[in-house]
């Protein structure tokens, strides 16, 4: 594990964080939260090679405005943490103890810290709630960069050097926006190159980043459980995205028309890919669909012309109408064995498909399911198929023959007239 930023080095006041390395799992979210909230932070990763460790620590304590002591069993037992705290007190630096857990201080620390105002992490909703609470304390004010923060519903946001930061301010979640009632940062969308949604935010509202045309990257934390419709629609410069595991559904139209999007990773836990969610992502070449996904919505990947292969896991029971319509370079597809119908136009216009195996268990191959797959040469149709609809494999001129179950209904225009249909 590592932080998302480098330790501060400069002449401005900053927070020195004293911690035990055994606590890194708790420390890193705190460091990141302080950074996202706009504070200058130093931690011991910043020691330069070739310098004596104790000298470097002392120098950074002397230059700091506040020492934040993260109190735990490990830090109480740490000689280094003890030395840092005692030195900071001796040099009249403000020391703020934050208890990560209930622990009894050593007599020496008790004697030095008993008069200080201490805090407990359990009193906050999370790391970001703790970081935001600093605003009310004058000791931390000099350590904060001059960022103009704005309150909007349950969130706060600021833009600095092209980066939009969104943090949770109250238990209320990010609201839904619309084309008419745009997100509050929409007027400055041309400035936004990257977006960091801080841990603690649980919801990305509809149209939240709609038409942020210069947005290249976005960080979505594990705390997010909802991603609503058109959340990133028309983000023409967005290059890649990772959807966290707690997001149940990638909202309808969520990434529609993100023309620069090349790589999408959905983490294990995502259940549904919504309607038109990745349509017109013309440069999308790689999608990882986890075994947790159960439904792929209508037009979900329509016109993803650079998508070359897709593996639809066996957890998927429903692939919607035209889900992969006109994915012209799609040459390899593995279809879930849990579906019972290959829906209408699902793979229509996939010109690079050469062979397809319909899973055993499919009952119906619907209208135009593989229509105009003009390089398709081989289709394996299982005995479970009972219905092959109109134009299901029409305009597939290289499909010279196909074997079908003897009792299956076949529409008179299901195949080209040049395709030999063999009943078995």
Q: Which tens digit of pLDDT belongs to each residue from 240-254?
A: 999 999 999 999 999
Q: Which tens digit of pLDDT belongs to each residue from 177-229?
A: 999 999 999 999 999 999 999 888 999 999 999 999 999 999 999 999 999 99
Which of 143, 167, 189 is the last residue before a domain boundary? 143
Is the residue at 361 inside a domain? yes
Instruction: With a cut of 70, say whether residue 47 has pLDDT above it.
Output: no
Q: How far is CA 231 from CA 79, 188, 346, in A?
A: 49, 17, 25
Is the residue at 59 inside a domain? yes
Per-residue confidence band for 137, with pLDDT thresholds at 50, 70 and 90? confident
CB of 172 closer than 8 Å to CB of 153 = yes
Is the residue at 20 inside a domain? yes
Instruction: With a cut of 60, say whether residue 327 has pLDDT above it.
Output: yes
- Among 59-63, 139-143, 173-177, the least confident range: 139-143
What would the 3-class secondary structure string for 144-181 be? ECCCCCEEECCEEEEEECCEEEEEECCCCCCCCCCCCC
Instruction: With a cut of 90, say whether residue 275 has pLDDT above it.
Output: yes
Residue 133 pLDDT? 79
Per-residue confidence band for 148, with pLDDT thresholds at 50, 70 and 90? confident
Which of 120, 143, 166 is the last residue before a domain boundary? 143
CB of 353 closer than 8 Å to CB of 376 = yes
Is the residue at 311 inside a domain? no
Residue 361 pLDDT? 96
- Rounded Cα gap, residues 375 and 354, in angstroms: 5
- The angle that helices 53-63 and 79-90 make with each other, rounded to 10 degrees, is 40
- Among 31-35, 239-243, 264-268, the least confident range: 31-35
φ, ψ (nearest 5 deg) of residue 218: -140, 140
Query: Is 92 or 3 the better-scoring residue by pLDDT?
Result: 92
Is the residue at 363 inside a domain? yes
Contacts with 349 (C-beta within 8 Å, 6 or more apart), sequence order: 325, 326, 327, 328, 371, 372, 373
Q: What is the CATH number of the domain that holds 62?
A: 3.40.50.10140
Collect contacts of 188-193 with beta carbons under 8 A, ≥24 apart: 188/159, 189/213, 189/214, 189/215, 190/214, 191/159, 191/162, 192/159, 192/162, 192/163, 192/164, 193/162, 193/163, 193/217
Counting runs of H as helices and runs of E as strands, what totals does the chain give? 6, 29
- Rounded Cα gap, residues 378 and 336, in angstroms: 18
CB of 338 closer than 8 Å to CB of 315 = yes
Is the residue at 412 inside a domain? yes
> Within a 10 A sphere around the Cβ of 291, how many other Cβ atoms?
11
Per-residue confidence band for 170, with pLDDT thresholds at 50, 70 and 90? confident
Domain that holds residue 90: 15-143
Phi-psi region of 162 (alpha: psi -120 to 50; beta: other; left: phi over 0): left
Per-residue confidence band for 51, with pLDDT thresholds at 50, 70 and 90? low
Which of 122, 143, 164 is the last residue before a domain boundary? 143
> Angle at CA 35, nearest 5°, toward 32 and 40?
140
- Rounded Cα gap, residues 73 and 103, in angstroms: 6
| Number of independent structural domains in the chain | 2
Is the residue at 151 inside a domain? no
Q: Which tens digit of pLDDT belongs to each residue from 287-321?
A: 999 999 999 999 999 999 999 999 999 999 999 99
Task: Reduce the DSSP state of residue 318 to 3 states and report it.
Answer: strand
What would the 3-class secondary structure string for 241-302 be? EEECCCCCEECCCCCCCCCCCCEEEECECECEECCCCCCCCCCCCEEECCCCCCEECCCCCC
Is the residue at 196 inside a domain? no
> Within a 10 A sphere around the Cβ of 80, how many other Cβ atoms?
16
Task: Reduce the DSSP state of residue 226 to 3 states and report it.
Answer: strand
């Amino acid at each position: 594990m590592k932080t998302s930023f480098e330790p501060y080095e400069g002449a401005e006041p900053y927070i020195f964080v004293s911690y035990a390395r055994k606590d890194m799992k708790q420390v890193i979210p705190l460091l990141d939260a302080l950074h996202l909230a706009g504070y200058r932070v130093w931690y011991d990763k910043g020691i330069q090679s070739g310098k004596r460790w104790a000298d470097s620590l002392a120098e950074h304590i002397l230059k700091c405005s506040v020492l934040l002591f993260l109190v735990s069993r490990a830090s109480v037992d740490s000689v280094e943490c003890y030395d840092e705290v005692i030195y900071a007190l001796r040099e009249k630096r403000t020391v703020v103890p934050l208890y990560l857990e209930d622990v009894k201080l050593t007599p020496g620390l008790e004697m030095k810290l008993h008069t200080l105002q201490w805090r407990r992490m359990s009193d906050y909703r999370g790391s970001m709630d703790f970081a935001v609470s600093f605003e009310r304390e004058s000791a931390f004010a000099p350590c904060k960069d001059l960022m103009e923060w704005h309150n909007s519903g349950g969130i706060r946001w600021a833009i600095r050097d092209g980066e939009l930061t969104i943090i949770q301010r109250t238990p209320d979640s990010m609201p839904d926006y619309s084309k008419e009632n745009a997100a509050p940062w929409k007027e400055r969308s041309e400035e936004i190159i990257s977006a960091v949604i801080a841990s603690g935010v649980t919801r990305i509202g509809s149209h939240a980043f709609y038409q942020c045309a210069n947005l290249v990257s976005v960080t979505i934390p594990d705390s997010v459980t909802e991603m609503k419709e058109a959340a990133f629609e028309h983000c023409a410069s967005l290059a890649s995205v990772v959807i966290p595991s707690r997001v149940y559904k990638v909202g309808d139209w969520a990434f529609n028309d993100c023309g620069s999007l090349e790589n999408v990773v959905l983490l294990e836990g995502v259940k549904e890919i919504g309607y038109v969610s990745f349509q017109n992502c013309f440069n999308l070449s790689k999608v990882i669909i986890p075994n947790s996904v159960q439904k792929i919505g209508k037009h979900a990947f329509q016109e993803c012309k650079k998508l070359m292969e897709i593996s639809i896991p066996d957890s998927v029971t429903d692939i919607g109408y035209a889900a992969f319509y006109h994915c012209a370079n799609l040459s390899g597809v593995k279809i879930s064995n849990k579906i019972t119908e290959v829906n209408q136009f699902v793979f229509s216009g996939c010109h690079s498909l050469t062979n397809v195996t319909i899973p055993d268990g499919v009952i119906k191959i619907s209208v135009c399911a593989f229509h105009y797959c003009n390089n398709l040469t081989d289709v394996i149709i299982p005995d479970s198929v009972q219905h092959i609809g109109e134009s299901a494999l029409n305009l597939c001129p290289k499909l010279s023959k196909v074997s079908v179950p003897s009792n299956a209904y076949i529409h008179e225009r299901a195949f080209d007239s040049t395709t030999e249909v063999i009943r078995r």
